[in-house]
Structure 1
């Protein structure tokens, strides 16, 4: 939207860059959208909002001090991984004063990892996306086992052997039957939280605000995000996944990012790429389930790695296809 672009450019450069960094979590390089996202995070929880703020500011300043690309910094590309690092570590690790220092170190590393991956992946025209966030958080989560003054929180999955799901909590019919008040509420909660969980927010209002923020930048982007969360609910339901995980949006946030990346950002928008995004979104659900079981023995969450892995594979494949082209 033109008014958002004009307002973005009217902001002082440091503020614009910081807000763009938050917006880039959903591929939205617009400060207005980033501001909406950050406000939504504070609404979801003060700690999450502060952690995201510390992360985005630290990772952006690090990029400036280390002399990385000015264009990339201005676009907010060195801010979004730091934005994710903060809320993630506060979700999975015990909340202590020392954790704030830990978040700062992690945000610094996320910018260094991003710069390294840009160097590696640019010749292949493949984006690093949220992979620096994933790699950094995995490292910092595992590292706490060596430090007496830091510890994992109750949300971090304990190491163990993957178990077969005996049964889904609700039958498929409960989700796809005639629309009752109960069914409508199930879908409403799952769809909105699917978008909110991209930034680890278990909150319906946050998901709605995120979607509004995306729409400010691009209606197609918002449509792809909505399709992604729908895929992330319907496909696990049909496959018989746990209702609790579905309703919390934990199967949906990766397809949200995948469908936005393939159907809007990195391939030329068309009906064909929208269809390709749909296939990628569906496969992201399967990839997430597989990676979750793969990581269970070492007690690590998948984070956004299912999205990253699926996106990379589809973009590599698209580069050798006569039917798909990059923007």
Structure 2
């Protein structure tokens, strides 16, 4: 009985940590532990937010009867963690933020089933879209807290690396070089290749934003690199051309949203990744013929493989 209880507790802990790791697209408990350390290093309030949202979403997934294997892999909990982080980021009152985090976390899980099925028919993954939808629904009801940025002077190489690492930290709503380094360590524990792409994505996106006129304080806070890092992680297995194209598109979308002051969060990453994946899927279904024109005939088997 004691052994069974310990195993159940261990499984629950691994599920919770994998839910956190899935924020950076890694189904790895060590990654989740590193992200938890990053939040604690930045602001313990963020750690509470992520845990509140992840637990709420996982409980809702169990009540909804979702696949247990997917729950154990963290697929049902990470959007809840993100929803909790968004609540504590945009709502100043702690009690209100906690209530919203619980409700929003559960909402991301309950809406995940039909939403993921609809996306799957189009060959697309969920990513952080449930969190975005739920957050956009409640955000107009509150006055967002003013964002704080860290003043930065590009006087040395260390300032550049701090800004890029802070971009990695912002993938989970944290900020700062130390949290970013912990996030990088967590991704490395799952995949060194993915860690390299995440670092490259944050650096490339930050550089492009700066060239387009973004401010140095935003770079220091990591606000310029996180969408590029997430896009690079999502497209890392699609080849370097697709990955770089996705990073570039995420920068363009974030720039456009910034012009209008829209709270897009990770929407540029999701939209850019979906766009690249849709294009790749379309090319697989309808490849160019020998003459360079699209081949119009498609087999049922090829359609089945891509659906």
Using structure 1 for the length normalisation, give the TM-score: 0.80
Q: Is the aligned partner of 1:153 residue 2:119?
A: no
Q: Which residue of 2 aligns with 1:288?
A: 254
Q: Which residue of 1 aligns with 2:77?
A: 79
Q: Is the aligned partner of 1:187 residue 2:185?
A: no
- Which one of the candidate residues 168, 186, 204 is aligned to 2:177? 204
- Which one of the candidate residues 97, 100, 103 is aligned to 1:99? 97
Distance in 2 between residues matched to 1:123 and 1:246, nearest whole Å: 38
**Structure 1 pair 122/258, CA: closer, same or farther in 2 (3 Å)?**
same
Q: Once the 2 structures are TM-superposed, how far is the Cα of residue 132 of structure 1 from its aligned partner?
A: 0.6
Distance in 1 between residues matched to 2:144 and 2:165, nearest whole Å: 28
SS at match of 2:133: helix
Using structure 2 for the length normalisation, give the TM-score: 0.85
Q: Which residue of 1 aligns with 2:42?
A: 44
For 1:221-260, what per-residue CA distance to the aligned partner results, in whole angstroms no more than 9, with x for missing partners?
A: 1011011111122111222222221222111100100011
SS at match of 1:78: coil
Q: Which residue of 1 aligns with 2:301?
A: none
Q: Which residue of 1 aligns with 2:224?
A: 251
Distance in 2 between residues matched to 1:202 and 1:226, nearest whole Å: 15
Q: Which residue of 2 aligns with 1:6?
A: none
For 1:101-134, what per-residue CA distance to the aligned partner results, in whole angstroms no more than 9, with x for missing partners?
A: 1110010111122222111111222101100111
Q: How many residues align?
A: 279
Distance in 2 between residues matched to 1:76 and 1:222, nearest whole Å: 19
Structure 1 residues without counterparts, runs of 5 or longer: 1-8, 145-150, 157-168, 176-181, 268-272
Q: Once the 2 structures are TM-superposed, how far is the Cα of residue 11 of structure 1 from its aligned partner?
A: 7.8
Distance in 2 between residues matched to 1:246 and 1:39, nearest whole Å: 22
Q: Which residue of 1 aligns with 2:297?
A: none
Q: Which residue of 2 aligns with 1:214?
A: 187
Q: Which residue of 2 aligns with 1:224?
A: 197
RMSD between aligned residues: 2.3
Q: Once the 2 structures are TM-superposed, how far is the Cα of residue 10 of structure 1 from its aligned partner?
A: 11
For 1:152-207, what per-residue CA distance to the aligned partner results, in whole angstroms no more than 9, with x for missing partners?
A: 32339xxxxxxxxxxxx99xxx96xxxxxx23133112111000011111221000
